[in-house]
Structure 1
Amino acid sequence: MSVLQKIAEIEAEMARTQKNKATSGHLGMLKAKLAKFRRELIEPKGGGGGGAGEGFDVAKTGDARIGFVGFPSVGKSTLLSNLAGVYSEVAAYEFTTLTTVPGVIRYKGAKVQLLDLPGIIEGAKDGKGRGKQVIAVARTCSLIYIVLDVLKPLQHKHLIEKELEGFGIRLNKTPPNIVFKRKDKGGLNLTSTVAQSELDNDLVKTILNEYRISNADITLRIDATAEDLIDVIEGNRVYIPCIYILNKIDQISIEELDLVYKVPHCVPISAHHKWNFDDLLEKMWEYLALVRIYTKPKGQLPDYTAPVVLREGKTTIEDFANKLHRSIMKEFKYALVWGSSVKHQPQKVGKTHILQDEDVVQIVKK
């Protein structure tokens, strides 16, 4: 039986099984089995599993990468063309874009790479179409745009989310606050800092048995689900912010548009008429959470034309120096900082100081 058939069988059994306390252990085991088979699809046994495929190995450039994901004919190519001025073959028939088409936009001093990924069809996570390569590229993005047709948004939204979830992509989520450590001996030690509504000792043991793990320390710091625990054990999940772009708003009424605006993480646009692009770019900036740092050579004014752009969570003086040049830290003495991250203007700081957006930095060498 193929991996795909095994996955289909497990999904069918899960759909048949009623959810209650008595079946939670069985469902936990099925969920763990499913995660293992899905991993085989992403990382086939026997190594490599071949290249990403022609057109899917676009080199990463710029400060961030955004992947456009959506069903055929929802307007991804038109949106990319109008945002980046990159020509991406656009036609009114399905499956025009068969390879990844890169484009670049500059916004607030940052260079952002845009990738129009070929239309995802149902079953992409199971290897249908070219979905597998598309989702492999989607996993490398800093932000995902799910482009939806405003006339049929929810149906497409759920299908695409299911495809991406199946490939270990978690949208607009943070990693579960679960500490998991394997041990050589000592059995299972499960502690919880909050009350658990789903996970108990028996269910955790059932899931660990599926992974042949009998010795581990687990601390649950959230009310965790079986899926949360499996995600932590698997360890190959990626957590990516996502904006849902509802395209073709020129085809709906003002009243309907008011409703659309209430959908979380959503921006309504018309790619064809270039409506509401300002709103989309602002939301993009917010979700990318980029930090701009300006350099100041000694005795000169700061250079406000070309900021050094850092990702949130990697904004120390050391991160900034390494982005300029790897050799700087070898001669680093201290840095002078002007801006919102310091109390005094300027302030002398060390390499672990955390910078904030639009700070100005002067590196002083030994």
Structure 2
Amino acid sequence: MKTRGAVLTQVPGRYEVVELDVDDPRHGEIRVRMAASGICHSDDHQATGDVPAGRIPLAGGHEGAGVVEAVGPGTGGFAEGDHVVFSFVPACGRCRWCATGHQNLCDLGASLGTNARWEDPTSFRLSLDGEPVGQMCGVSTFCEYTTVSTASAVRIDPSIPLDVACLTGCGVGTGWGAAVNGAGVRPGQVVIVMGVGGIGINAVQGAARAGAGAVIAVDPVAFKRTTALEFGATHGVPDIREATDLARTLTNGQGADATIVSVGVVTGEHVGQAVRSVRKAGTCVVVGLGEARTREGDISLTELVLFEKTIKGSLFGSSAPTADIPAQLRAWQAGELRLEELITTRYRLDDVARGFEDLRAGKNIRGLIEFDR
């Protein structure tokens, strides 16, 4: 069938809406009519080339929710009409990582960069004028219809609005989990969050929910700092040096217990600043991505060793999406998690390029594409 979707045809480039062919689902697959998709910096990394795409043309989008429209032959666990949220990292449920509760590290994720089917890097479900089109994270949520593996889909309560639900497919779980799982925030601790966009804002509310005594939000954009205060930050400052000084005044000169790096384009300098901001035995959690070929960081190895500081990467908040996405939505239903307040601007699919312009300009916490607008 035909579908419209936002595609990169060159890198560096911008997303353009074109008409695509989308295949019927095969065994282990479903076709989904999209309701909403978040506009995330990871999609922009593909457009700029910071993170090389495995396939061009590439249909973008990895944070989304919709309704199952067709189920592949012999595929269990899903039915037409089911409401689903996509997990941008697939979960097979069988590998060592899934079996030990680390679905975010599922072995299927090794194929993410191919933009093809997990099991076959030459197999695609979208095409443009007969040419295969890659799918961002295997899902391509910037398409009106998309065919995906069931390993990438999580069924949810149909009473939950899909625009709200879609945010748990990346931004919420990644930020919240960075604080709760990655940093292991405990009551009374001092936490710094560097960058409070769509990821960092959820690290703020995760740290606050975990009982942090102080959450210092760092962002050069005043609107984002103000928003962070509404999501549980106790302080908002424009740069990490000020945040570090503030953390030390709150901890008898020691520094933050944890600093979470969720800057849009992370550099080695950012990581070095974060490491210096934490106390002895403190933790630096790196969430954001940067230029993929970066190999150096501004880190004092002496400080790292003698002060026993920890640097951790955090993919999708170190979460298990099949369990954590429904849990986050239950928390929203109980009033313990803010979701709809994350949405700054709603766009039509045809306005996707403007959405990324607004993202780069710092105008949004989260921009959202709604397919029925």
TM-score under structure 1 length normalisation: 0.24
TM-score under structure 2 length normalisation: 0.24
